[in-house]
Amino acid sequence: MATPTTLPSTFVAGNVLTAAQMNDLRGAFRIMQIASTTKTDTFSLSSATFTDVTGFSVSITPAFTTSKVLVLVTMNVCASWQNGNLQARLMRGSTAIAVGDAAGSRTQASNVVAGGNNFTGQTVVISFLDSPATTSSTTYKVQIRGNTGNTTVVNRDLDDSNNAANPRTVSTINVFEVSA
């Protein structure tokens, strides 16, 4: 990959860039654009069906069909049950991406967080380099599921009584268009 290390520290009038320098410049601008969403409110779910986390999506319109999109997700959760887990998956539109291979009846997920402590938060982290192959607006979001009767919360602890021991947190999705 080209790097900007051979570029002159300063350009002056009359300079003509060489092909190598132009390639270096191209390499210096591999991050074409950035989009981000930060969810600051809470979300609670009791469902065994993958469900969108409300207000937790971000859209980006790639400049080139060859571009990659680096997706970084950090989501703070807390799950209520002792013998189960919270499953999360990254979505591009209605398509699950960044999931494991199909294997029988097992759930294809991006990340799993174990339940087991009613009052301790955990973090779902997803990092994925996507190839959307489009120049249309593309939306990335996160879905979660647990079990009926078991509750998952986002950006709060289950014990949310009004005192300083209980946090309110944020969850973020950052997407970066990276030129090929």
Partner 1 sequence: MTDYTLVLMRRHADREWQLDGDDYDGLTMLDGGSKPSKASLDAAWPEVQAEIAAEKAAAATAAASGRAKLAALGLTDDEINALLGA
Can you give the binding site for partner 1, defined by CB under 8 A?
41-49, 51, 54-55, 80, 148-149, 151, 153, 156, 158-162
Shortest distance, position 121 Cβ to partner 1, whole Å? 14
130 vs 157, which CB is nearer to partner 1? 157
153 vs 173, which CB is nearer to partner 1? 153
Shortest distance, position 16 Cβ to partner 1, whole Å? 58
- The upper half-sphere exposure of residue 111, i.e. CA atoms within 13 Å in the direction of its Cβ, equals 21
Shortest distance, position 156 Cβ to partner 1, whole Å? 8
60 vs 86, which CB is nearer to partner 1? 86
158 vs 178, which CB is nearer to partner 1? 158
Shortest distance, position 118 Cβ to partner 1, whole Å? 9
**How far is C-alpha 152 from the chain's CA centre?**
19
Task: Round to whole Å and give the CA distance between 37 and 59.
Answer: 9
CB 37 within 8 A of CB 19: no
Shortest distance, position 173 Cβ to partner 1, whole Å? 17
Residue 164 DSSP label = T
Task: Round to whole Å and give the CA distance between 141 and 12.
Answer: 46
Instruction: Name every residue whose Cβ is closer than 8 Å to that of residue 138 and which is 6 or more positions away in sequence.
Output: 59, 60, 61, 62, 69, 92, 93, 132
Residue 29, amino acid = F
139 vs 159, which CB is nearer to partner 1? 159
